[in-house]
Structure 1
Amino acid sequence: MPDSPTLDDLRVLAHPLRLRILSLLTGTAMSAAEAARELDETQANVSYHLRRLHEAGLLDIVEEVSIRGGRAKRYRHDPESGPRLTERNPEEDHVLLTSAAEELKRRIAFRAPEHPASITDAELWVDPEVWAQALRQATELSRLLHEAAEPPRTAGTVRVSASVALFELR
């Protein structure tokens, strides 16, 4: 990936299916066919999006396997790749946040209201030390969830949604 991401690199995050793919491939490596089955999408569509995500440096090819006489690449998402992309060009955060908002709209239809949840929205003024602490805790929360991610439907796991966007305002 180049030192400074292009607008094209950032637009790779603008597609809600790509965010779903990144989330899915945090818990396990998958081929295009495996991911397509899990996401209920066509293999051709998922394959296209996997290539775009890989070109942008958001997916790693972790293995190539033989399947019915052909070769299939299995991809995995490194959660640290996203911040590397957006931190170098923070004025383009709206691309990711807009896509994340659309993805959140999709996910809310799957919310299990009988289980506990935490939903917070705030625009407020806080002490800089409190702000720094909140950022550290949000970063740790993200790390905890990404490191604990398992393949879909692993016994003993629950499917969850986590969206965190913290930023200082002008």
Structure 2
Amino acid sequence: MILMKDIIREGHETLREVAKEVPLPPSQADIDTLNKMEEFLINSQDDEIGEKYGLRPGVGLAAPQINVSKRMFAVRVEDDNGKEYYYALINPKIVSHSVEKSYLTSGEGCLSVDRDIPGYVMRYSRVTLKGFDKNGTEVKLRLRGLPAIVFQHELDHLNGVMFYDHINKQDPFHIPENAIPIER
């Protein structure tokens, strides 16, 4: 079981590396890692289990965050309509995206960052993502709103990018024209 002590924090070199592609079909070790990452998200979203083990609630976890520099992540999030986006993806990549941007009005947080960082993180409003599931089967997702933001946040981890790298340094709360606010 992954605990908070297993999640590396900002400043750790693995968080700034570009993670390596995962050979397909995935090895049992890679599948086991993804299963543990999914289990962490389920546990972290369960108030009782989260409190018992001191877990911060998370909607996504990338392999580099547990010091495994491989292109995989798990996401467990729902959109405004209650549609579930529960995925464990290998070698995900954005194949198309909107010009339009969106951002979380509450700002973004990260299990690897133990401090509040004020500012808006601009993301693509809509993305089409391709990757592979634990069976090595291709998955194609069209995402918008909160799920699009979460998937982009996790994908950044695979490229050594932290969410605060996207915050405007001169004006952290700058909102570009036509950017869509997402309430969370």
Q: TM-score, normalised by structure 1?
A: 0.30
Who wins on radius of gyration, i.e. which is larger? 1
Q: TM-score, normalised by structure 2?
A: 0.28
